[in-house]
Amino acid sequence: MQFEPGDRRRVLPRHLRPEAPPEVFAYSIRPARPADLPYVREIYNHFVSNSAVTLDERRSSIPYWREKFALLDRLKLPFLVAVSPAGVVIGYALAQPWAGKNAYRYTAEDSIYLGPGAGGKGLGAALLQALIDACEQIGLREMVAVISDSGAEASIRLHAKLGFVEAGRMGRVGHKFGRELGTVYMRRVLKPTGRRRGSWFGAKS
């Protein structure tokens, strides 16, 4: 049976209408590229301006991220981004040197941030696991997380889910938004599948 244009009978009752397929949260994870840095900067600056997740108080610049990108590339440390099907960076994770001495060359500190609307969908765990895998492939043996203790519950849960254990706390070592803040230290022993080559700060490995 056909309905003429404008015939209200064309609209099925609500209980007979097919359910809309659930929206799929799709993304891919790949190494960061220079063209990704403006997106990365905006994600990070959102947290600088709106939360104590990072204790940075000044918004970062593109030159800052170019310098960090070049450093991590030179040190062969992973810098990953999660990208939507439309090509927009919706999160990132990177590993950076832990302290400024070459004796710590088998240990890295992780940094992971998700863009607005990307949290609570499993992306954080996927990014952190990809970062762990990449660090193990280059021979790293330890990963450290330094987490602000203000609103840190989600980050602590994420790291614990991926095998991190709490290693200590320091209270009132930071100050932001008129509040005194502490830090939570977590660590995970890695299982390197590759061999760390070269040095980070000029000393022989």
CB 63 within 8 A of CB 13: no
The reported pLDDT for the residue numbered 196 is 82
- 28-61 pLDDT, tens digit each: 999 999 999 999 999 999 999 999 989 999 999 9
H helices of 57-145, in order, are: 62-74, 123-137
Annotate 12-57 with DSSP letters as a single string.
PPGGGSPPPPPPP---EEEE--GGGHHHHHHHHHHHHHH-SSS---
Global pTM value: 0.86
Report helix, strand or coil for 152. Answer: coil
Q: Rounded to whole angstroms, how far apart are CA atoms 85 and 80?
A: 16
DSSP state of 102: G
